[in-house]
A and B are shown apart, each in its own frame.
Chain A
Amino acid sequence: MNFSFSAMAATAALIIFPTVGLTNEIHTPTGPVVLTIKGNISKTNVGDAMELDYSMLSSLPSVSFETSTIWTEGVSEFTGIPLAALLDYVDADGHTIKAYAINDYAVQLPIEGLTESYPIVAFQKDNEEMTVRSKGPLWIVYPFDSSADLQTETVYARSIWQLNKLEILD
C-alpha cells in the first residue's frame, strides 16, 4: 500500500505555443472544464494546458468494456478514451503521468505500462454521465475482470476516480 501523495506543484511551461494542429482543429472548451492536461505536451488550447469539456471529450474516439470493480456493486459498462490515445491527442512527451482527483488525491502512472485499449479515462458508466457522487465525472478504469494481473493493488491504486487533471512528467 504505497500511495504516493506527491506535491501538487506542477511544472508550468513558460512558453505558450499557438494552438495550431496539423490534423485536428483545436477547440476551446465551451462548457465546464472536466479535464485539464498539463506538462510536456505539444498541443494546448488554454495557456500551456489542454482543457477539455464533456462534449470535447466525448467526441474523441472512445472504447467500452464491461467489468466489475471492487468499489461498485455488480458489473458495469464503462465508456471512455484510452489513456494512451488521449496522450497522443495532446502530443505528450514523457515517461510518467501524474493524475489528480478533485480532492487533490494524486497518483503516478508510468506511460510505459499503458496499452492501446486500457486503461481508459471513462466518462460514462452504463451509458450515463458520472456525477461526483458516483465517482465522476471521470474515472481511470481497467478491465479488472479480464485478467488477474489487473486485480493487483498497484492497478487498484492507479484506478483514480473523480479525476480532473493530468500532468505529463519527464
Chain B
Amino acid sequence: MKITDPLTSFLQQYRYLFLTVFVATGLGFLGYLALETRARIDLLQRAPNDNARFIFSQLEIESLQLTNAMKEARSGAPEKLSNVRLRFDLFYSRVQIVAARQKNPEMQSTGSQFESVDALQDYLSDTIPFIDGPDAALWAALPALANRLSDLYGEIRKLSLETLTQSTQIADDRRSEIRLLLLQTSSVSGVLVLALGIIVVFLMRLSQKTSKLAQEAQRTRDRLRSTVAASLDAVIVVDEDSRILDYSGAAETIFGYKKEAVLGELLPPLMIPDRYHESHYSAMRHVSLTGQKHISEDRLIQVTSKRATGEEFTSEATITSIPSVNGILFVAFVRDISVRLQAQSDLVAARDRAVAAEKVKSDFIAVMSHEMRTPLNGMMAGLELIEGDNLSEKQNRYLNVARKTSHQLLGHVNDVLQISEIEAGKMRLSSESFAPSDLLDEIAVANAAIAASKNIHLSVKPITPELTTVYGDHRRLRQIILNLLGNSIKFTENGTVTLKCEIQDSDQEQHILRFEVEDTGDGIAKDAQTMIFEDFITLDSSYQRNTNGTGLGLSISRRMARAMGGDIFVESTLGQGSRFWVELPFPRTEGLVEAFESSGVETPSVTPSAAREVKVLIVEDNEINRMIANEFVSSVGATAVEAHNGEIGVQLASETHFDLILMDISMPVMNGRIATRAIREKGASMHTPILGLTAHAQSSDIVGFLEDGMQCVLVKPINQDHIRTAITKHVLLPEKGVPSGPSRRLVNEKTVLELRGILGPTSLEAMFNRFATEMETGLDTSRKSFEFREEFHRLAGSAGAMGAVLLQRVLADAEQTPQQSSPDMELLQKTWGLTRKAYADIGVSSSVIE
C-alpha cells in the first residue's frame, strides 16, 4: 500500500462526506432562493398598484368631466343638472378609490399626497349639500364649485404624477430584487451543476476503478485457484475448531479421503495420529490467543500425518493463519516426504557402506604392506649375509637380482604405506633450517653418476639472491625434488637436466619458493599431463619394466606438496622436454617444532687396532638396547659380551676381567645398582670402570650411583661417540669424566645416523620396525595394566637406544606417575606419533625409499 500524508488520506477518507454536505447545502440554498423568487413573483403578479396609472387618469378625467358638466349645466337647461349629479358621483367614487389606496401601507404614501387627498375630500364634503340639495341652489352654486374644482386640478395633477413616479420606482425596486434573486439562483444552480458534474466524473472514475479492481481480484482468485489445484502439496483449510473448510485434489491423493467425505469434519481424528492430537489443539489455541501468523517459528515444520488407511507418514507442512470475518482460518500446505526421507536414508546407508568398504580396503592394504615389510626385512638381511661368501659368478648375478628386486619391493611397500599415512592425515611436518641451494647441490651430487651414465648434463642454477636459511621440512622437499629429478633422468637421454630455485614471492613471514626440474627429455602429451599426478599412473611401459616405479611417485609428491601448503605443476611439450616445479611456502623464522643443536661430541678418534684388545660387558635387559650397544662397541673394534640382567652380569664380571662394564640401572632380577655393588665386592672385574646407563638422571640419583661404585652415568640414548669416548677416557686414556648431557631433540639424529652407518639401512629399518612394534604393543598394554611403570621403564630404554630422546623423556616422566593416578596416555601416543614422523623425516624411511 501506498503511503500518503495524513492530510491527503484524511481528505480521501472524507471526500464523500464533504461532497455530500456541499451538495446538500447548495440544494438547500437553491430551494430557499426558489421559494423566495416564487414569493416575489407572486407579489409582482398580484400587482396591487399596477392600475395606479388608470386610477389617477380616471380621477383626472372625472374631475374634468365634472367641471365640464357644471359649466354646461350653468349655460343650459336646468335638467342638465342630473348629469352634474352623475358626474359628481363618479368623481366621488374615484376620490374614494384614491383615498383607499392611500391608506394601504404598501403604497408608501407621502405627506403631500395625504394633503392632496384631504383637499379633494374637503371639496367633496363641501359640495355634497349642493348636489343633494334643490336644483336651484345647485345651479346657483355651480360657478363657484366649478372654479374651485378647476383650482384643484393642479393638485390632482401633482398627486397623479407623484404617485406614478413612486409606483414606477417601487416596480423597479421589485424587478431588481427579482433580478438579484434570479442571479443568485442561477449562480447557485451553476455551482451545483458543476459540483454534480464533478461528482458524476468522480463516481464514474470510482466505478471504473472498482470494476477494474474487481476484475483483477477475480483474475487473482482464478489464478490462485488453479495454482492450488495444480499444487502437488495438499492444501487444507480449517477453522479455529479444526473443522475442514477446504481440501485440495492433492490432499485427496496424499491422505486418501474424498473431499466430500471430509468437509465439515474435524481434522485431527482423520489425519493426525492420536498421540499428537493434544499438541495440535494446544498449538491452535495458542495461535488463536496470540494472533501470531504462523503455528511455529520455523515456517516449514516436519509433522507426522495419518492416511485414510491408518498408515503414518512424515510430511513437511507450512501452516498459516488468516484472519477472516468468521474468525481465524488456518491454511496448511502439506507435502508427503516419506519417499524422500526413505531415499535419503538409503543414500546415507549406501554411502556409509561404501566408506566402510573403502576403509576396510585401505586398512587391509596398509596392514598388508606393514606385514610384508617385516619378512621382507628378514629376506634382505639374509641376502646381505650371503654376500661376501664364496659364490660363483652366476650365483652372484642371481644374488644381485634378488637384492635389487627386494629393494624394489620394499620401495613399493613404503610408497603404499606413505600414501595411506598422508591420506589418514598422519603426516607431520618438521621445521628445520636449511639453505635451498645447498639442498639442490647435494641432490645434484648424489645423482651426478647416474646422470653421467645417460650422458645427461646435470646443472644447478643457484638461487639469487642467496637464501641461507629458510625453515621447513627439507626432507620431504628433498623427496619431492628427488622424485622429479629421477623422472627427468629416466626420460632423458643425451640432454640436459637443470635444477633451479627461485623466490616466487616474499613477505615478512614467509618465502614462497619455486623449485624447478627442467629436462630436454621425451616430454609428456598434453592430455596426459593431468593424469600423471594420479595414483598408479605410468606413461612408459619401459619405465614400468625397467624401474622400480609403482606410478605413485608423482602422486605422493603432489600429496606432500599440498600437505606442505603448496602444489606441484608441470609444463611439457612432447618431444622437447618437461618442466616440473613445486611451489611451497617456507617460514622465515623457526616453526613450533624446535630445531636443536647437534649434540655431537668432539672426540679423539679411536683406531680399531687400539681397541682390539678391549672387552666390554653390556648388562642390559632390553634386547634392542643391548643389541645396539653391542654394535657400537663392535664398531670401534672392541669385543662385547652381553648379559641380560644384573645377576648374569655379576656372574660374568666375577669370572672374567672386562675393560669396561656398561650397566643398565633398572633391570629385572637384579638391578644395576645392586649388581654394581656386587661386582665391586669381589671378582675379576672388581676394578673395572662401570658406566651406568639411565634414561633419566637426576643429580640425587647420580650421587647414589657414584656411591654404588660407578665411574659415571651415561644418559640414554647412547651413541657411538659415547662408547668411543668412554673407551678412550676409561680404558685407553683413563680419565674421569662424564659425557655431555642429554639431548633436547625429538630424535637424536646423530644416534640414528650412526646406527645406519653401523647396521646399514636395511637392518636399521628392521630394528626400527621392531622398536615400533614394541612401542605400539607396550603402550597398548600399559593402558590396561597396573604395571605400567615397569613397562614405561622398558620402553624408555628402547626409545633411548633408538635416539628418540623426547619420547624417552616423556616415558621416564610417565614412569614417575604417582600411585593411584593414571598415566597421560594421550601425551604418550602423541609423542610416539611425533617420534615416528621424526624418523621418517631424518631418513629412516627416505634412505629406504631410495
Interface residues of A (CB under 8 A from B): 1, 3, 70-73, 102-103, 105, 131-135, 148, 151-153, 156-157, 161-162
Contact = CB atoms under 8 A, between A and B. Distances in A.
B630 interface: no
B97 interface: yes
A103 B90 CA distance: 8
B51 A1 contact: yes
Contact of B62 (A3, A103, A161): A103
15 contacts: A1-B53, A70-B48, A72-B100, A102-B86, A103-B65, A105-B58, A131-B89, A133-B89, A134-B93, A134-B96, A135-B96, A148-B46, A152-B47, A153-B51, A156-B47
Interface string B48-90: 1011011000100110010000000000000000000010011
Contacts of A135: 93, 96-97
Contacts of B47: 152-153, 156
Given A153-B50, A157-B51, A133 B93 contact: yes
Interface in B30-48: 42, 45-48
B101 interface: yes
B45 A151 contact: yes
A132 B93 contact: yes
B92 interface: yes
Contacts of B86: 102, 132
B62 A133 contact: no
A71 B100 contact: yes
B103 interface: yes
Q: Interface centre among B46, B48, B92, B93, by most A CB within 10 Å?
A: B93
A148 B89 CA distance: 32
Contacts, number: 56
A132 B90 contact: yes
Contacts of A1: 50-51, 53-54
Which 4 residue pairs of A and B lie closest in terms of their CB atoms, listed nearest first? A132-B89, A151-B46, A133-B92, A70-B48
Contacts of A3: 54
A162 B100 contact: no
Contacts of A148: 42, 45-46
A152 B50 CA distance: 10
Interface of B is mostly: helix
Which of A3, A105, A131, A135 has the most CB atoms of chain B within a 10 A radius of its CB? A135
Given A71-B97, A157-B51, A152 B45 contact: yes
Contacts of A153: 47, 50-51
Contacts of B93: 132-135, 161-162
Contacts of A156: 47, 50-51
A149 to B, nearest CB: 9
Interface string B598-629: 00000000000000000000000000000000
A88 to B, nearest CB: 30
Nearest to A69: B100
Nearest to B46: A151
Contacts of B65: 103
B50 A133 contact: no
Nearest to B50: A153
Interface string B692-716: 0000000000000000000000000
Contacts of B61: 103
A159 B230 CA distance: 94
A141 B599 CA distance: 162
A152 B62 contact: no
A103 B86 CA distance: 9
A1 B47 CA distance: 10
A3 B54 CA distance: 9
Nearest to B103: A73
A161 B93 CA distance: 10
A98 B86 CA distance: 22
Nearest to B90: A103
Nearest to A105: B58
A103 B103 CA distance: 25
A151 B89 CA distance: 27
A71 B101 contact: yes
B219 to A, nearest CB: 64
Contacts of B103: 73
A22 B167 CA distance: 54
* Most chain A CB atoms below 10 A, which of B42, B46, B50: B46
Contacts of A152: 45-47
A152 B48 CA distance: 8
Contacts of B97: 71, 135
A103 B63 CA distance: 12
Interface in B139-178: none
B27 to A, nearest CB: 26
Interface string B100-116: 11011000000000000
Contacts of A70: 48, 101, 104
Interface string B254-285: 00000000000000000000000000000000
Interface in B615-656: none
Given A132-B92, A148-B45, 11 more contacts: A3-B54, A71-B97, A71-B100, A73-B100, A103-B65, A105-B58, A132-B93, A134-B93, A135-B93, A135-B96, A162-B93
Contacts of B90: 102-103, 132, 162
Nearest to B62: A103
Contacts of B50: 1, 153, 156
Nearest to B97: A71
A29 to B, nearest CB: 19
A122 B46 CA distance: 22
Contacts of A157: 51
Interface string B395-423: 00000000000000000000000000000
Nearest to A149: B45
Contacts of B62: 103
Nearest to B131: A133
Nearest to A132: B89
A152 B89 CA distance: 28
Contacts of A162: 90, 93
Contacts of B89: 131-133
A73 B102 CA distance: 10
Contacts of B101: 70-71
Interface in B676-734: none
A133 B127 CA distance: 13
A71 B58 CA distance: 14
B99 to A, nearest CB: 9
Nearest to A136: B93
A134 B124 CA distance: 13
A68 B313 CA distance: 106
Nearest to A3: B54
A42 B228 CA distance: 101
A157 B54 CA distance: 10
Nearest to A130: B93
A152 B93 CA distance: 22
Nearest to A135: B93
Nearest to A152: B45
A91 B54 CA distance: 34
Contacts of A131: 89
Interface string B787-830: 00000000000000000000000000000000000000000000
Interface string B181-221: 00000000000000000000000000000000000000000
A79 B104 CA distance: 25
A93 B471 CA distance: 153
A94 B45 CA distance: 30
A26 to B, nearest CB: 29
B586 to A, nearest CB: 126
A125 to B, nearest CB: 12
A41 B47 CA distance: 35
Contacts of A161: 93
A159 to B, nearest CB: 10
Nearest to A157: B51
A104 B101 CA distance: 23
